Each structure stands twice: as structure tokens, then as C-alpha cells.
Amino acid sequence: MSGGPAVRVSIESLCEKQVQEVSLDGMETYVPPLSLSQNLAKMAQRIDFNQSDESEVEEGTSLESEWKQEQPQVEAEEDCQEEGMLHFQPSLWPWDSVRTALRSALTEMCVLHDVLSIVKEKKYMALDPVSQDNTATKTPQVLQLVSKKRALATAASVLLKGAERLSKSVCENQENRRQRDFNSELLRLRSQWKLRKVGDKILGDLSYRSAGSLFPHLGTFEVIKNTDIDLDKKIPEDYCPLTVQIPSDLQGSAYIKVSIQKQAPDIGDLGTVNLFRNSTVLISNIHPRYPIPFIHFCSAQNVLLCKEILAQLSREAVQIKSQIPHIVVKNQIISQPFPGLQLSISLCHSTGEKAQRCSPDRPDDHLYVLEHNLHQLIREFHKQTLSSVMMPHPASAPFMHKRLRLAGPLAYNKNQINSLQQNEGLLEKIIKQAKHIFLRRRTARTIDSLASRIEDPQIQAHWSNINDVYESSVKVLITSQGYEQICKSIQLQLNIGVEQIRVVHRDGRVVTLSHQEQELQDFLLSQMSQHQVHAVQQLAKVMGWHVLSFSNHVGLGPIENIGNASAITVASANGEYAISVRSGPESGCKVLVQCPRSLNKDQKCDVMQDARWAQLRGPYREVQWSRMEGRNFIYKMELLMAALTP
Amino acid sequence: MGVTCVCQVPVLEGKSVQQTVDMLHRQLEQLGAMKQGSFWVDCETYHTTGTASGQPSKLLYVMHNSEAPLSCTALFEGGPCLMADGNFDVLMVKLKSHFQNAKGHKVESRGARYRYCDFLVKLGTVTMNSSARGISVEVEYCACVVPGDCWNLIKEFIQSFLGPNVPELPSVFATKAEGLFVPADAVDTMTQYLELFGKVRKQQVLQGASVR
């Protein structure tokens, strides 16, 4: 704002005057401008007093104003007449019109004042309101009806709108309730099963993937909202707002059947055994409060697990080389643990609609223990992939046992690596377990049959409570009834393994028997015959007899088919009598007695003069053992010894 | 893991490598050793492409042994040594810019593996570029890990089938700072093999065709 030096600005008005006349020599004669007074007069002339008069006066005095208007006109005429005499010079006296207007205004004001004062007296004039004309506002009846109708229609529309809103809100409430049920059910479902939203579908996961399974089946199920419910009717008891759709190959129920049978005579018989059975039993065991979808989930998951087990077993059956190849037929795996025996593992899947029961299962056909073990083994396998030994693993290391990752840097040789690695698969494990179970059962049966068949030396079997999937043990005692404390030299510990039975004798001998049933039976029979001889030996000690000779395996006499015969010779305390026993598993017991020669009177000999020769024992004579009294061999022996002792 | 001794058997005059090896096999079998499969040891050479010129490029040797099938040894001659797992080979491929494989220098020894009680004897033919260059014999005494304790026994055993060509104590054990009574490990075996292969490579310069 403080720019350069101040500039003087002068303002001059344009002096534009009207040209009155232009002379011949070009000189302009201007009209002289109006003086101030002249200007004022000009302005005053412009004021129209008549107009302002009309706006201030009431309507009632309109006639009077009209009259008054006439007045200035008359006066104006008068003035004009006066002025007419003066040669039409309207601006003779510029304030003339003003004067007249004022005079008229004065007159009117005076009249108004008079009127008002008269009215105030109320003697001669009174003010009355102007009456309304009723006849002009009277409407016809039709119009009234129409207007009433319209009014009612608007009221009705308002009410209807309100009602509509109410009904909509009620519907929404019910919808909400149903929605809330669906949501709460969905929440409950989600708390137990894995759900995820894909697009506008809700999918769930039935598989064991999160538990460590590597089975490629996805196991997805879909949750669908159950909208086909009529809200007006009563909601049924087992109504569930959501339905689930399980994949078709997992529907129904399944189980794995493991059984051992005699070998099928013809390969063609395999796979024709119908393995379905009624599956309604499964569902009834589930808690009644459990809603239906969950039951289906559990059975579907079981089906998936059974499929995984069978897939793993089939894969191994095909890959693993064994002496006798395993046969995989449809849903069945058949292998031969022992010759003449067949182990079949099959998946029985029934979809619920089929109620066929073909060959009904005998209850002892199932090896339930093995089926349970299969489930446990596959779960064990799942856990291994997730165990802390495997996971977490460094990105550069292969997916294996933690210690095995160190095998490279620590230069492990093959033995060390093998000791860390697991080589056995599911199938091998199950076959080993099946073999062991079978061997154990057969051993028990052999021992029991022997025990029931043979009375004389008694067999007692004490099975151990603690055993392994691959090993069990039983202690077999061979005793004589009534003489258990004396004759307890035959005690056998049988360790039943997968394919062999290891027998540990009390005296330290270890014998390994194969899986053949006959071997065990023969061995036990030979032990029983040996027991008789051992019992005589112990009895001799008790009775005071001397053992002259004892042999577990005699080389003389007829050859036994099973084992060897054993023999013992005992002599009485005074040496007069001797008893000789030969016991064989097949030939039984033969007892011979030697009496002193002096008893045998008829064999007097003249050659021997000295009496002392008569004290020697003479020839052997066999005892008719079957006619001896006594309930078992050792009892009879005791009686014999007692009889021979003077 | 035991004490190992690796030595080279000179090829007999007038005989080929294969014949010598067969003779040794027969001797071992006569002794009563049991054949237990085969073995192989190989060695690859890598040149370091170092940035400092003027210094000779160091040689890195990567060796594998069938006794430790999951392992890989990397050694510098006379320098540091590393035992790693199989991924080391892949790592060397990735380090191509720093280590270049000298493909013509791959040496390997393959042959039969015998077991005689506590002794493991490995007779191998050393080949380079698929031409046989020599014979290697590795004797391992599995029952002991201390070289000082069992060297005499090993020497005697070697004498029993190799005859007069008895090696002296391997320099690996002799030059150890802590002495002879420190446990031996897989690195010592590989170092001995490396020395052997080095000798075989040098031999190539002297006599080539006559070894065949």
C-alpha cells in the first residue's frame, strides 16, 4: 500500500451541456444549466402526491378519496384556467401541484378527524362489522362425501402401512429365531469339527490330516441350511436346522475284519465271501442326545480310517517281497502266516440300505484284538509324522527321524543307520501279531488236550499275565498228584514267540521248537515219561533207597518213536531188593524187581556152598503194574517200596 | 567305527591289476574271511576360483564312502576337514562360481568287502577315468578306536595276507598333535584315502600304460 510517491488525482465532472443552437460560424450555444433552485423545482414537480394519497387512506373512505381526487382535479382545472390565461406555462409556479396536493390531504385529514370524533360519540354514527355471507360458502353433499372418503383413505393407508411394517417385523423375528438356531448349531458343530467357508458354501473336514495322516482322500462334507420347515406347524422333536452332506463313498459304516481260517482249497473262492452285515447295531450305541449329523460324521470318519488302513496294507502287500506273496483281491488281503493257514484282512463297508447278511460271521471268527491293533498302529503312524522327533525339521533336511539327520555329519555306518530306522510296515506287524496269537492259542490247546487226556503225571500250566504283542510265556509243571513237593523236577518255561517256541528246562537245557503242533506234543509226552523216572529218584531219597543207576536217555531196548526212554534202578536200604524202572513215552512204564536169592528156594545150587551168595539179588521179575493198587504211578511205587522194605 | 589303515599294494611284475586283485581275494578266502558285499570310495576335485590372483588356487576334495552312505567329506589337503550329509553335493553345485569341478580328476576305488572276525578288509581297484591305476587295501579293526593300542595287531594281520608289503604307521596318526592314543574317526580314514589317491594321480605322470 505504501507504493511510490502520491499521485494527485483530480476529478472533474463532465460538463456536458445541451446544445441549443449551432451558429453558422460553428459556434455552439449551450443551454444554460439549471440553477439549484430551478433544479429543485424540477424535482418537486416529479412528486406525485395523488399516488401517495391513495395508499394511506382506508378502504371505507375510498369514496371520499375518490371525491378528494376529484377535488385536486377541479382545482387543477381551476389552476389551469388561471394558468391558461398565462400562455401554457406549467412551471409558472413549480410548487403549485405540491400546494394542491397538500391542501387536499389536509382536507381529507380534517374530514377523517371529524368522522372519527362523531363515531366516538356513538350518537349519530356507529361502527358495525361487515357480516359474512353464509350462502356463498355452502358446499354440496357429494363434495362432502368425496372429501370424507379421501380422508378415510389416507387414514387407512397410514394404518395399512403400519400393519405391514408390524407383520414384516414379526416375520423377521421368526426368521431370526430360525437363523439363530442355525447359527448356534453351526457354532456347536464348529467346536467339534473343522469347518471353513469357501465362496458361499460351508465345507468341513472329516479326515485325519490334521492328526498326521497322509492319505490323499479329502474327506470334505458340506453343511446345508435346512430351510424346508413350515413355521406355522409345530417344529418336530429331532428337527435340526442344518443338514450335512457326506461324500458318497464315506456313507454308511465300515469295519476291518481280521480272521484266520484254514486255507481255502481253491484260489477262486477268494473274494466271493460276502462280507456285509447289518450295521444298525452301530448307531444305537451312540448317546441318544447326540443329534443325527454327528453320528454320521463319526461313522464316516471310521469309514475313512478303515479305507486308509486297507490302502496302507494293500500298498505294502504289493511292495514288500516275501516268500509267499500276499494276495490282494478287491477289499481283501490274504496272506499265509503258516502253511495250511490263511490270514484274511478285509474291509466290510455297508451303506445302510443293504441289509443283506450272507455268510453270518461266527463270533470267534473275528480276531478283535488284531482289528483294534490295526487301528492303534495306524494312529501310531499318524502320530509319528507329527511327533517332536520328526517335526519341526530344518528346511534342508529330509523328513525323517531327528537322529537320522545327524547320520551324515557323524558318518554313521550301515549298522547304526539300521538301528535307527524302522523297517517294518503295517502289514508285517499285523502278520507277526497274528502268527503269535495263533501260536499261543494252539499251544494252549495242546497243553489243555494233553492235560485232559493224561491223568498220571499231571500238567499244570501257569500263563503269565504280562506279555508282549510278539511274545508270551507259560510255565508248565509236570507233577504227580499227592507228591507235588517231592517230584517237582520237571518245570518248563515256554516262551512263545512269533514263529518258534523256546523251552527252558529247569536243569538249564534250552530247546527250540518250531510252530508244529506235533513237536510240542511229543516233547511234552517225553517230558512226562521222564518225570516218572525222576519221581522214582526223588521217592527213593525219601524212602531211604539208594539210586544205583539213572539215565535220562537209555541206549538199550526198543527204540521209541517220540523221544527217548529213561530208566532208573534203585536198591533198598539193606540192599536186598532192587527196583528197576524203564519209562518211555510210547512204551509206558515197566517195573522190574530184583529179590534176594534166598527167597527163591527152588533154585538151590550145589555149586555155591557159601551162604553169603544167597544174599545177593537174584533175577529180575516184572511187576504186573496194572494190578497194583494205587491211583498213580508214584503211589504204586511207594507202596511197592514199602512192601519190599522189611 | 574302528581303526583303519589304508595302504597301496604294488602290482606284481608281469601281472595285471585284475590278476593281482584276484590273487589277494584268494588269499583272503583261504584265510577264512567271509565276503560281505562290495564297497566304493570316490574323490572329486574342485578348484577354488579365488579372487586373489598370484596365489595358487587351493584344491578342495569331496569324498564319499559306502561305509557311511549318508555322509560326504570335504577336505583341503593338510587343511580343515568337514563331514556333512548328502546335501553337500547339491551345495557344491550351487557354489559353482567359487568352486569349479575338475571333471577329469575323479578317482575312485571299488571292490569287495571281506569280514574276518573283528577285521574288515576292503580290496579295491583304484581307477581314474575308467582306467585302473592301482590297488588299495583298507583294513579296519572294529573292536578298538585307539590307534596306539591296536597298530601292532593290524600290522600283523596285514602281514598274514599281504606278505612282505607291510606299511608303516599311517602319517595321519603319527602327526596328530595329541599323540597316538586319541580315538580315530572317519576323517582319518578319508585322509588316508586322499593321500593314496594323490599318490596314484602322481603315478600317472610316471607310468601310464604299464599299470594296465
pLDDT tens-digit readout, A582-625: 999 999 899 999 988 877 766 667 777 777 877 888 889 999 99
- Contact, B109 vs B40, CB < 8 A? yes
**For B162, how many CA atoms within 13 A lie in the half-sphere containing its CB?**
24
- Angstrom distance (rounded) from CA A203 to CA A185: 15
Q: Is A403 on the interface with B (CB under 8 A)?
A: no
H or E stretch at A566: strand A566-571
All three cell numbers of A490, joined, read 520237571
pLDDT at A13: 78
Which among B70, B73, B86 has CB closest to A412? B70
- Angstrom distance (rounded) from CA A452 to CA A437: 22
Asked whether the beta carbons of residue A414 and residue B69 sit closer than 8 angstroms, the reply is: yes
A577/chain B closest Cα distance in angstroms: 59
- Contact, A105 vs A53, CB < 8 A? yes
User: Degrees (nearest 5) of the Cα angle A353, A357, A359?
Assistant: 150
A491/chain B closest Cα distance in angstroms: 38
Q: What SS3 string covers chain B?
A: CCEEEEEEECCCCCCCHHHHHHHHHHHHHHHCCEEEEEEEEEEEEEEECCCCCCCCCCEEEEEEECCCCCEEEEEECCCCEEEEECHHHHHHHHCCCCEEEEEEEEEEEEEEEEEECCEEEEEEEEEECCEEEEEEEEEEECCCCCHHHHHHHHHHHHHHHHCCCCCCCCHHHHCCCCCCCCCCCHHHHHHHHHHHHHHHHHHHHHCCHHHC
pLDDT over 70 percentage in chain A: 81
- Contact, A455 vs A476, CB < 8 A? no
Give the residue numbers in B contacting A (CB under 8 Å), as ranges.
1, 65, 67-73, 83-88, 185-186
pLDDT at B59: 86
All three cell numbers of B118, joined, read 573283528
Average the pLDDT over A573-588 and give the result. 92
All three cell numbers of A599, joined, read 527167597
Sign, CA torsion A110/A114/A119/A120:
positive
B75/chain A closest Cα distance in angstroms: 14
CA-nearest residue to A405 within chain B is B85
Closest listed residue to residue A500, CA positions, set A541, A539, A443:
A443
H or E stretch at A480: strand A472-480
Asked whether the beta carbons of residue B83 and residue A407 sit closer than 8 angstroms, the reply is: no
B61 or A388: whose pLDDT is higher? B61
pLDDT in tens, A480-499: 999 999 888 889 999 999 99
Q: Is A413 on the interface with B (CB under 8 A)?
A: yes
Which among A397, A409, A413 has CB closest to B83? A409
CA-nearest residue to B66 within chain A is A413
Asked whether the beta carbons of residue B84 and residue A413 sit closer than 8 angstroms, the reply is: no
Q: Is A402 on the interface with B (CB under 8 A)?
A: no
- Give CA separation, A267 vs A276, A313, A316, A325, A335, in Å: 21, 20, 21, 13, 12
B125 or A298: whose pLDDT is higher? B125
Give burial (CB, 10 Å; 0-12/13-18/19+) of A24. exposed
Q: At A543, which amino acid appears? A: M
- Angstrom distance (rounded) from CA A337 to CA A119: 143
Evaluate if residue A361 carries a pLDDT over 90: no
How many inter-chain contacts (A to B, CB under 8 Å) are there?
Answer: 43
All three cell numbers of A484, joined, read 507235588
Asked whether the beta carbons of residue B67 and residue A405 sit closer than 8 angstroms, the reply is: no
CA-nearest residue to B186 within chain A is A411
A391/chain B closest Cα distance in angstroms: 19
Which among A409, A413, A414 has CB closest to B85? A409
pLDDT at B115: 93
Local confidence band at A218 (pLDDT 50, 70, 90 cut-offs)? confident
Q: At A7, which amino acid appears? A: V
Asked whether the beta carbons of residue B87 and residue A396 sit closer than 8 angstroms, the reply is: yes
pLDDT at A318: 87
**pLDDT, tens digit only, all 212 positions of chain B:** 789 999 888 887 888 888 889 999 999 999 999 999 999 999 999 988 766 666 777 889 999 999 998 899 999 887 789 999 888 999 999 988 888 888 888 899 999 999 998 999 999 999 988 888 889 999 999 999 998 888 999 999 998 888 877 788 888 888 887 778 888 888 899 999 999 998 888 876 544 444 44
Closest listed residue to residue A415, CA positions, set B120, B102, B193:
B120
pLDDT at A280: 35
**Contacts A410 to B, Cβ<8 Å:** 71, 83
Q: Which residues are within 8 A (CB) of A514 and not within 5 positions of it... i.e. 6 or more apart? A: A499, A500, A501
Q: In what order do the strands lie in the sheet with A457-463?
A: A457-463, A472-480, A491-496, A501-505, A510-513
Mind giving me the DSSP string for A596-631?
EGGG-GGG--SS---GGGGGSEEEEEE--GGGS-SS
Closest listed residue to residue A223, CA positions, set A139, A149, A289, A291:
A291
CA-nearest residue to B190 within chain A is A411
Find the helix packing angle between A633-644 and A517-543, rounded to 10°.
20
**Is the ipTM of this structure higher than 0.90?**
no
Residue length, chain B? Answer: 212
Task: Tell me how far apart the terminal alpha carbons of chain A are, to the nearest angstrom.
Answer: 165
A416/chain B closest Cα distance in angstroms: 10
CA-nearest residue to A398 within chain B is B87
Q: Is A138 on the interface with B (CB under 8 A)?
A: no
pLDDT at A566: 95
Helix/strand/coil for A135? helix
Evaluate if residue A291 carries a pLDDT over 70: no
- Contact, A520 vs A439, CB < 8 A? no
Q: Which residues are within 8 A (CB) of A447 and not within 5 positions of it... i.e. 6 or more apart? A: A459, A461, A474, A476, A524
Closest listed residue to residue A492, CA positions, set A514, A508, A480, A475:
A475
Looking only at the bridges linking them, the beta strands covering B71-76 and B59-65 are antiparallel
List the single best residue of A412, A416, A417 to mutate versus B (max B Cβ within 10 A). Answer: A412
**For A579, how many CA atoms within 13 A lie in the half-sphere containing its CB?**
30
Evaluate if residue A465 carries a pLDDT over 80: yes
Q: Is A410 on the interface with B (CB under 8 A)?
A: yes
Asked whether the beta carbons of residue A408 and residue B72 sit closer than 8 angstroms, the reply is: yes
Q: Which residues are within 8 A (CB) of A18 and not within 5 positions of it... i.e. 6 or more apart? A: A30, A31
**Contacts B86 to A, Cβ<8 Å:** 408
- Angstrom distance (rounded) from CA A209 to CA A207: 5
Asked whether the beta carbons of residue B67 and residue A414 sit closer than 8 angstroms, the reply is: yes
- Angstrom distance (rounded) from CA B192 to CA B198: 10
Which among B67, B86, B185 has CB closest to A408? B86
Which range, of A213-222, A300-309, A535-544, A603-612, averages the lowest pLDDT?
A603-612
User: Degrees (nearest 5) of the Cα angle A3, A4, A8?
Assistant: 110
User: Greatest CA separation found in chain B?
Assistant: 56
**Contacts A414 to B, Cβ<8 Å:** 67, 69
